[in-house]
Structure 1
């Protein structure tokens, strides 16, 4: 279990969120699967657009919350990230992949999709003595600050879709489905003007 906010966010907007994390005392961490290395930096320069990066998730490490442990598996480095002490010191973060496959090469039909991304942190973990260690307050404070910032640059926006009912007496009839999503202006423009779908 943990805390998370889901959103649809472009690369440039994510850089703003990452800079906010750095300004709040975090470093940026990524697992480079090609090099087999865990890279940690005090600036956002290690965040790359899709196509140049083979791993979409980044982590904001708050040193005040604890150290991170790097494991070596099959000769490659990776974070000991899960319900561990390392997990208690990290906030997982990502931005949306925006897929434009006009030829249908990747599948049987053409696709224009924007995939959901998130910021996430665990609630805590059980140590080797089965003692529960909650997430440090300092990490919760940074997480909450980042969530407030995400809500500014990806405001809660209402969408209306027309769906076919699968219920009883209205089966097969078209009905309105209203829902809200956190979405940046860039992603919203792609939905409204170019027909991208949120996934």
Structure 2
């Protein structure tokens, strides 16, 4: 799952921010997408009714109120994710709102988004080195678990140094499917 939006809740007296959401089908299960006027702010895996309700409650708390009817970035994100899952898109262009990530986690996620392209992988240690924190490989794993924008910010491309695929908040089967889609792993037989 993704980082709790509640962890990034605005301070008392912070102005309300407009946001909207949609749920979209995907080969890895339904995704809940949320966006602000700045960009896509959250992607939630396995977005059944219960998971969606929890995520939406956290987003309401974080952004100071209920969603608005429409934010244009949602249509862009939905179309780009559909193209990605159809094998027609290798790089997302939807603007991103990074407000649900900060500090070390944000630095690592930016390094991941900017430096690990479609069809490639990086190790936890490699990302720690890229952000100038060579002793922080385990903390990179925690940053991957806090990623509010999985798939678009491709935490599925981060793998273990022992050759294993490592962990994944969306589940290992989801990670395998995403890596297979990008040609890193063979496609499942069944």
In terms of fraction of residues, the more helix-rich structure is 2
Task: Provide the TM-score with structure 2 as the length reference.
Answer: 0.25
Q: Max radius of gyration: which structure?
A: 1
In terms of fraction of residues, the more strand-rich structure is 1
